[in-house]
Chain A
Amino acid sequence: GAVVSQHPSWVICKSGTSVKIECRSLDFQATTMFWYRQFPKQSLMLMATSNEGSKATYEQGVEKDKFLINHASLTLSTLTVTSAHPEDSSFYICSATWDLTSDTQYFGPGTRLTVL
């Protein structure tokens, strides 16, 4: 149980285009989903926390207008990187939980974004 999927697993796009990444909890209802970014040999950096039906809470330094997060249902959250630039190239990982106070978060397999 507690499986989280991400789509796509990798994407290559041109600078200036937008890319949407989906995160789905397959066998549980995720009241909270998290989006992380990880640069090579670096730690996971939390970008934002999203709760179903409400606006995402962004970490300091993360541009909310550039990284659009939608958590419209208990099983789906999307991250859209708008007007992507080469410096946005990174490994984007989502995680989901039904209750972080009593359970861990479950990570998706990640999406490798390369912006040319």
Chain B
Amino acid sequence: GQNIDQPTEMTATEGAIVQINCTYQTSGFNGLFWYQQHAGEAPTFLSYNVLDGLEEKGRFSSFLSRSKGYSYLLLKELQMKDSASYLCAVPSGGSYIPTFGRGTSLIVHP
């Protein structure tokens, strides 16, 4: 099994920067995923990290440290539409099928 831990809820102001952290424990690491999920909708893929470091993709960046079992998702220039749940997901035990964390509900206010 594995543990994936991320904050339950975060709030931020439109235009600001927010960092959503995720810690995990797993054996046979095969990468870490971040997904965005709006209420009542299916998750959409944001990023996949398998090597240490920061990967930037537009306003969203994702960081991984395998030795620390730690990742974060960085959202810049926040927009109201970024209000959603952000799911950290890690495949377990050497498989490629990710297990999802509970998700972090991000509320962006004006």
A residues touching B (Cβ–Cβ < 8 Å)? 34, 41-46, 49, 91, 93, 95, 100-101, 104-110, 112
Contacts and interface: CB of A to CB of B under 8 A. Distances in A.
Contact of A43 (B33, B44, B45, B103): B103
Interface of B: 33, 40-45, 48, 87, 96-103, 105
Contact of A112 (B40, B97, B98, B100): B40
Contacts of B102: 42-43
A93 B87 CA distance: 15
Q: State the 5 A-B residue pairs at the shortest beta-carbon distance, nearest first.
A: A107-B42, A100-B96, A44-B100, A43-B100, A43-B102
A101 B40 CA distance: 28
Contacts, number: 37
A45 B98 CA distance: 10
A40 B98 CA distance: 20
A46 B98 CA distance: 9
B96 to A, nearest CB: 4
A110 B100 contact: no
A46 B100 CA distance: 9
B105 to A, nearest CB: 8
Contacts of B100: 43-45
A44 B42 CA distance: 10
A109 B33 CA distance: 19
